[in-house]
Amino acid sequence: MRGRMPVLRSERTQVDIEATIWLSTRRLPVRVVETSQGGCTIQCLQTLPVGEIVQLEISACQPSAVSVRWSMGGKSGLRFVY
């Protein structure tokens, strides 16, 4: 890999948390399966639109704005919007 800097990734933690994504006015049940300092990976029956800002709700936590970074094969990567 000449001429390219390696991508530094935050430590990831495997979890199993029920959550909800609000996509416009639609409520989608999801499962958070991995978290890191900057985002998380979810399982979802629907492919989410990459680049979209959505709300992630986990019970007992404040809703968080997240950006959909990738979505395929029943999983999506989300980045927390600060």
Domain hosting 46: range is 13-80
The DSSP H or E segment spanning 23 is strand 13-23
pLDDT in tens, 12-30: 899 999 999 998 889 999 9
CATH of the domain at 71: 2.40.10.220
Task: Give me the chain's average pLDDT, please.
Answer: 90
Does 36 have pLDDT greater than 90? yes
Over its C-alpha atoms, the chain yields an Rg (Å, rounded) of 13
> Could you give the percent of the chain with pLDDT greater than 90?
73
pLDDT at 46 over 80: yes
Q: Give me the pLDDT at residue 39, please.
A: 95
What is the value of pTM for the model shown?
0.83
CA–CA separation, 40 and 15 (whole Å)? 10
In a domain, 26, yes or no: yes
In a domain, 3, yes or no: no
